[in-house]
């Protein structure tokens, strides 16, 4: 099967703090990614949110391995929308 993804995907857990941007249902969760690319991430989680829920994401990287990666400018204050939810977690697309 041909890979159609625009950006390289990193398949290892990275600590991430996600915060909803909705005032009436504001939540902060400390989780780990399953995979991460310059355009989005999949985060395993038991908590579900509505499609389109907006988040602020702060990643904690133990070393500087992503600093020079094309498309990644900062590892703090990423903004994104949930585009898919499964029984295993949620996919968040970054607002680039």
pTM of the model: 0.79
CB atoms within 10 A of CB 82: 21
CA–CA separation, 62 vs 38, rounded Å?
A: 18
Q: What's the mean per-residue pLDDT of the chain?
A: 84
26-46: pLDDT as tens digits? 899 999 999 988 899 999 998
β-strands 15-20, 40-44: how paired? Answer: unpaired
| Topology at the third CATH level for domain 15-94 | Thrombin, subunit H (2.40.10)
Contact in structure between 41 and 11 (CB atoms under 8 Å)? no
18 pLDDT band, cuts 50/70/90, is very high
CA–CA separation, 74 vs 96, rounded Å?
A: 11
72-81: pLDDT as tens digits? 555 788 899 9
CA–CA separation, 94 vs 40, rounded Å?
A: 5
Q: Residue written as tokens 């509505």?
A: 50
**Domains of the chain: which residue ranges?**
15-94
């Amino acid at each position: 099967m041909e890979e159609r993804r625009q950006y390289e995907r990193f398949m290892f857990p990275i600590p991430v703090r996600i915060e909803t941007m909705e005032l009436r249902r504001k939540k902060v969760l400390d989780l780990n990614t399953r995979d991460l690319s310059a355009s989005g991430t999949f985060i395993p989680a038991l908590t579900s949110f509505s499609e389109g829920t907006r988040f602020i994401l702060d990643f904690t990287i133990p070393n500087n391995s992503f600093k020079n990666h094309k498309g990644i400018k900062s590892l703090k204050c990423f903004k994104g929308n949930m585009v898919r939810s499964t029984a295993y977690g949620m996919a968040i697309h970054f607002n680039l």
